Amino acid sequence: MAIISSINSCSDNLIICVLLLLSISYGAFCSPLDITSSFFIFGDSTVDPGNNNFIETIAEYRADYEPYSQNGFFETPTGRFSDGRIIVDFIAEYAKLPIIPPFLHPSADYINGVNFASGGAGVLSGTNQGLVIDLQTQLKSFEKVQKSLIEKLGDEEANKVIKEAVYFFSIGSNDYMAGYLGNPKIRQRYNPEQYVGMVIGNLTEAVQVLYRKGGRKFGFLSLSPLGCLPALRALSPKANEGGCFEEACALALAHNNALSSVLRSLEYMLKGFKYCNSNFYDWLHDRINNPTKYGFKDGVKACCGTGPYGGIYTCGGRKKITEYQLCDNVDDHVWWDSFHATERIHEQFAMALWNGPTSSVGPYSLQDLFFDKAQLTIADVVDDPRADL
């Protein structure tokens, strides 16, 4: 009754009345900062929340066994390649969303988004083929989600969800580590420049597919210094000197540079296209080389693994070699296992993506993409043609 009385009392002043209504609808019930976008995730083991639990694959591409997820945030191992949470879990938290479920989980609800990522997956369908869910298959799964949303919400509301959603990509590492460096036939067929162009071309097409379906806001986790992963450091010709595998690092840099150029072009070509890109390479490289500066003690050796630098991929004892070592304090380490970072790294870079400096993220931050912070002004109301209705 108080609201109705207030509205009636302002009937002689249309502008004040409109402002009051806006205050009621956006302030009392639904603040703009409380409205968030859905979150759709495409990628590999860096962001896989457990999709590989539901497919036939090998132990190297699964993480649903101890000591994965050992830090206690989850009751049991979830399939995340981490000692706990991964980067998209933190992003969802910052965006005021629940943890985004894996697409293949039987009870997955799509309304807040869904995660299609698969450990070992690549941009190219031939990368680890038959053992993972490649990017093209992930895109086909998104089509199923879109149809489900239309059936549940109707065309108009479903299209609104698709348009306002944030689409996050973290993929490409396996194309270079397994698809190129680990495949002599591919290396004979393509030089590095040609291969990078092929990966980037397919990734660009995936972005355009989602754009044609209505997507407008995109986030990207660029590649890390791949040659500094414990597994590749152990394979480096300079392994005895502690050096990174330079060829792998060069491929990652070439990929990141090409992706940056493509995204700038897409922003120019595609109306309404907005993106958040990241400089994960330099960010992580600094922590590898200067761990104590960021609260770590070891930026080189994996917490869980065996052999030089913990670079033999044995974590969990279910792979080809069953013996492994586990460090006493995970928080001292940048690397969790031979290929994957610790939860602390995931959390720190999630925050950098969310609202970090331009040296780490741009041209938009993920916070910019998830939340519309524009505030309504009196001028907006006066200039709005609907004010005359």
Dist. CA 312–CA 306, nearest whole Å: 5
Q: Which two tokens stand for residue 9?
A: 């009392």
Contact 268, 328 (CB under 8 A): no
Marked catalytic residue, from 337, 338, 346, 365: 337
Residue 374: exposure state from Cβ atoms within 10 A (0-12, 13-18, ≥19): exposed
**Strand partners of residue 43:** 170
Dist. CA 244–CA 229, nearest whole Å: 8
Verify whether residue 64 is a known catalytic residue: no
**Strand partners of residue 298:** 333
**């995730």: which residue's tokens?**
41
Residue 294: exposure state from Cβ atoms within 10 A (0-12, 13-18, ≥19): middle
Verify whether residue 11 is a known catalytic residue: no
Marked catalytic residue, from 45, 224, 236, 338: 45
Ranges assigned E (strand) in 297-351: 304-305, 325-326
Nearest one of 50, 36, 204 to 115, comparing CA atoms: 50
Residue 364: exposure state from Cβ atoms within 10 A (0-12, 13-18, ≥19): middle
User: For residue 115, what are the CA distances in angstroms to 61, 160, 183, 208, 389?
Assistant: 16, 19, 29, 19, 43
Phi, psi of 41 (to 5 degrees): -120, 130
**Strand partners of residue 362:** 277
Contact 315, 337 (CB under 8 A): yes
Verify whether residue 380 is a known catalytic residue: no
The β-bridge relationship of strands 325-326 and 304-305 is antiparallel
Dist. CA 275–CA 253, nearest whole Å: 19
Nearest one of 339, 342, 341, 298 to 319, comparing CA atoms: 339
- Supply the DSSP symbol for 245: -
Please identify every residue annotated as catalytic: 45, 337, 340
